[in-house]
Amino acid sequence: MPEGPSIVILREQTAGFVGKTIAHAGGSAKDVDMAALAGQPVLAMRSWGKHFLIQTPAAALRIHLLMFGSYRINARKDAVPRLSLRFDDDGGELNFYTCSVKQLAPDLERQYDWRVDIMSDQWDAALALKKLRALPDTLACDALLDQTIFAGVGNIIKNEVLFRIRLHPLARLGDLPPRKLRELVEQARVYAGEFLEWKLAGTLKAHWLAHTKSGCPRCHIPFHRAQLGKTQRRSFFCTRCQKQYPTAREAAPDLLTPLAITPARSDNKSRSQRTPPAS
């Protein structure tokens, strides 16, 4: 599924259609009045999170590429498009396949909060932090994929950010120290920007440290792989260097609980010889 940076690239690739008039609209999308689009000028090509938006005076089109969506600019695939736009005066064409297409009201400002778009100039880190603090029981892996907080973050960014900040995907937001919560917000934005640069340079996969990888480059042990969280998306993480913070009860046990007596160790290892706990 394309993430926010990839949709920004699509927006930039189609900027040349802005100002052109749609001569013909077609495709298999059922939620679009194709006939009404003919004669409409394109006012803007925009992106919000994983949504690509085509704005005209009469309507806006929202395109979500889902898992296997694709597009062609001034070219076609040997398949029926979900949406096909052809422009006046040999202005070219734009075709979308295997995606979701929905017609919206033309005023996008009233329908989208650009402050939560991880790629937007209006991105508001303080707002993201406020929303995270209001969700103490939410898992870190779910929080990063919440499009109402981090619009545009997908599974690649999720895995890479959690590895970068050494945070276990099953850590609860309410158990994190304030600095770690701030780091989560900061690095989501930073990594998204780096993702865009690497994608444009054709080197994105070469920079992956966790996503789809077999082992931890820090600890040199195998990554744990699992489908986690509400969305059951794939997670790749290190059980040694990515910390799952203890709950409040684990960190400060009930004082009424009888003290447990720890038996003496039967081994002969000195303290210096024992493996240090994971950080």
Q: What is the pLDDT of residues 172-230, one digit of tens each?
A: 999 999 999 999 999 999 999 999 999 999 999 999 999 999 999 999 999 999 999 99
| Same-domain pairing of 76 and 123 | no
* CATH of residue 194: 1.10.8.50
Dihedral class, residue 98 (left if φ above 0, else alpha if ψ from -120 to 50, else beta): left
In this prediction, residue 248 carries a pLDDT of 55
The candidate with the shortest Cα–Cα distance to 213, out of 238, 176, 180, 231, is 238
Between helix 125-133 and helix 178-201 the angle, nearest 10°, is 130
| Same-domain pairing of 137 and 150 | yes
| Same-domain pairing of 246 and 138 | yes
| Same-domain pairing of 135 and 244 | yes
User: Do residues 63 and 100 touch, judged by C-beta distance below 8 A?
Assistant: yes
Mean pLDDT confidence for 233-257: 76
Lowest mean pLDDT among 79-83, 119-123, 243-247, 269-273: 269-273
| Same-domain pairing of 133 and 201 | yes
pTM here is 0.87
Pair of tokens at residue 30: 């059922």
| Same-domain pairing of 131 and 90 | no
* CATH of residue 74: 3.20.190.10
Q: In Å, what is the CA distance from 174 to each residue of 38, 171, 180, 250?
A: 52, 9, 11, 13
Buried/exposed code over 7-33 (b: 16+ C-beta within 10 A; e: otherwise): bbebbeebeebeebebbebbbebeebe
Who contacts 70 (Cβ-Cβ below 8 Å, separation ≥6)? Answer: 77, 96, 97, 98, 99
Residue-range definition of the domain harbouring residue 167: 115-250
| Same-domain pairing of 71 and 192 | no
What does the pLDDT look like over 97-106, one tens digit per residue? 999 999 999 9
Which three-class secondary structure string do you get for the chain? CCCHHHHHHHHHHCHHHCCCEEEEEECCCCCCCHHHHCCCECCEEEEECCEEEEECCCCEEEEECCCCCEEEECCCCCCCCCEEEEECCCCCEEEEECCEEEEECCCHHHCCCHHHECCCCCCCHHHHHHHHHCCCCCEHHHHHCCCCCCECCCHHHHHHHHHHCCECCCCEHHHCCHHHHHHHHHHHHHHHHHHHHHHHHCCCHHHCCCCCCCECCCCCCECEEEEECCCCEEEEECCCCCECCCCHHHHCCCCCCCCCCCCCCCCCCCHHHCCCCCC
Identify whether 256 is part of a domain. no
Q: Per the structure, how many domains does the chain have?
A: 2
Please report, rounded to a whole number, the percentage of residues in the chain having pLDDT higher than 70.
Answer: 89
Please report, rounded to a whole number, the percentage of residues in the chain having pLDDT higher than 90.
Answer: 86
The candidate with the shortest Cα–Cα distance to 94, out of 153, 182, 16, is 16
